[in-house]
Amino acid sequence: MSQAKAYRAALLHCLADPSQVSVEQSYEYFEDGLLVVEDGKIAHIGNATDLLQTLPAGTEVIEYKNALITPGFVDTHIHYPQTGMIASYGEQLLDWLNTYTFPTERAFSDKAHASEVAEVFLRELLRNGTTTALVFGSVHKESVDAFFEQAEKLDLRMIAGKVLMDRNAPDYLTDTADSGYADSKELIERWHGKGRLHYAVTPRFAPTSTPEQLALAGKLYKEYPDLYMHTHLSENRKEIEWVRELFPEQNGYLDVYDHHGLIGARSVFAHGVHLCDDECKRLGETGSAVAFCPTSNLFLGSGLFDLENVEGHGVRVGLGTDVGAGTSFSQLQSLNEAYKVMQLQGKKLDPFKSIYLATLGGARALYLDDRIGNLQPGKDADFIVIDYKATPLIDYRLKQANSLEERLFALMMLGDDRAVKETFAAGRSVHRKAD
């Protein structure tokens, strides 16, 4: 048993989806709160004045002024090999893949290179307050070993997988249906369920896998308990057309995945920008999730995600950055752009729904809401300290704010990594911003 530690600041966490309950019922807020952490888990949360009296003598209390503690952010879709090619100019999805992505991912056959990038990537996530992510590796199994080794060192809750890709990509970047299956299996045996790590079977997207490979991916997804399935779906119109040509027997994009046994609990589909109602319904009834990736959808000109319609069909929706097509590691910046995506459709995204999507909603999309996503006792102590004085403008703007809602919204519009003062994973400080 490690000695308990307590953290004193304003505290905010979500209890439910504000679309399902009233906004007031969806969160808990303590203006002067205390978070007590023991053995990497949340032990207590409440008002500081009440809880301080109950702490054993000698418990260390760390106090943050002008700060807000929230759960760590959950990123439901991101590519670590694309860290070095973020912000690459001028293309939409298919040309962007050929021009920038595939050549960049080639280098991940080299384990040393992969380790170096994984370290930069994880540092960047933690600087931005993201403590859990669902992560694409490259086609090389070394890339996933490198990633998990770095994540394990920091005791992070992370999900990742080797890309499966056996056609319509350069020779240097393809596996085969059989080798992809065998390599994935080896990685699952090595990493799935080790500490806080989980494995995701990761076919890149339908166009880069043969039906044989998709079938073997479906087999694998069913072979192990609690395995994830992670891919892309209906992001770009040309991509959707291409899927129709490649799979004429199937009734559309989602049906390709469905036909190969790739949908269900713990399956996560990035984007879903152009889904029809039948597809949303099928995703909802199978317990599948969609990752809403606003910065990526705007950057690649993919389109505007219809959050209300997708959620309205019972689909679990999380927020994704989709770096390197996404332009920021920051979930605050993703929420900034999510708000604009909604505005362009004549809809709103309120600050409490936003914070839900970045925390408990993401955890629920990943079936991890029993372990992370809020600060209830017993959950992993993955939390962040947001700095109300992060920049002169944030400081000035927040001084004019009259409510928590207004402060939150301003933080989402103006904040990024600079707003994250400190990040904790399993109760340990894993990032602290220089003063």
Q: Which residues bind Zn ion (CB under 5 A)?
A: 270, 322
- 296 near ligand GUN (CB under 6 A): yes
Q: How far is the CB of 193 from ligand GUN (least distance, A)?
A: 27
Contact yes or no for 85/101 (Cβ under 8 A): yes
- Least Cα distance to 63 among 28, 30, 37, 35 occurs for 35
User: Can residue 202 be called a binding residue for ligand GUN (CB under 6 A)?
Assistant: no
Q: Is 337 in the site for ligand GUN (CB under 6 A)?
A: no
Q: 293 or 381, CB closer to ligand GUN?
A: 293
H runs (alpha helix) in 247-391: 253-259, 277-285, 294-299, 307-312, 331-343, 351-358, 360-365
Of residues 43 and 173, the one with the C-beta less far from ligand GUN: 173
Nearer to Zn ion, 250 or 302 (CB): 302
- Minimum Å gap between C-beta 309 and Zn ion is 21
Residue 290 C-beta: closest distance to Zn ion, Å: 12
Binding partner of residue 93 among ligand GUN, Zn ion, none, CB cut-off 5 to 8 Å per kind: ligand GUN
By beta-carbon proximity to ligand GUN, the closer residue of 79 and 162 is 79
Among 283, 325, 384, 385, binds ligand GUN (CB under 6 A): 325
| DSSP letter string, 60-101 | EEEEEEEEEEEEPEEEEEEEGGGGGG-S--S--HHHHIIIII
Nearer Cβ to Zn ion, position 270 or 412? 270
Q: Give residues 208-247 in contact with ligand GUN (rule: CB under 6 A).
A: 232, 235
Q: What's the CA gap between 298 and 313, in Å, rounded?
A: 24
**297 interacts with ligand GUN by CB under 6 A:** no
CB of 77 to Zn ion, least distance (A): 6
Owner of token pair 């009233």: 22
Closest CB to Zn ion among residues 322, 337:
322
Q: Which stretch binds ligand GUN (CB under 6 A): 57-65, 93-101, 114-122, 403-411?
A: 93-101
Is 26 a binding residue for ligand GUN by CB under 6 A? The answer is no
CB of 325: closest distance to ligand GUN in angstroms? 4
Q: How many CB atoms lie within 10 A of CB 98?
A: 14
Residue whose CB is less far from ligand GUN, 98 or 376: 98
Shortest reach from residue 403's CB to ligand GUN, in Å: 36
Phi, psi of 357 (to 5 degrees): -60, -40
Phi, then psi, of 292 in degrees rounded to 5:
-85, 120
Does position 79 interact with ligand GUN (CB under 6 A)? The reply is yes
Cis peptide bond upstream of 324, omega within 30:
yes
Whole-number Å distance between alpha carbons of 294 and 259: 28
> What's the token pair of residue 147?
């990633």
140 touches ligand GUN by CB under 6 A: no
Contact 239, 93 (CB under 8 A): yes
What's the min distance (Å) between Cβ of 212 and ligand GUN? 19
Nearest residue (CB) to ligand GUN, 322 versus 369:
322
Cβ contacts of 400 within 8 Å, gap of 6 or more:
none
Query: Pick from 26, 101, 359, 423: which binds ligand GUN (CB under 6 A)?
Result: 101
The rounded distance, in Å, linking the Cα atoms of 86 and 101 is: 10
Please answer whether residues 162 and 139 qualify as being in contact, where contact means their C-beta atoms are separated by less than 8 angstroms.
yes
Q: Which residues contact 417 (CB under 8 A, 6 or more apart)?
A: 124, 127, 128, 129, 329, 330
Binding residues for ligand GUN (CB under 6 A): 79, 93, 97, 101, 204-205, 232, 235, 296, 322, 325
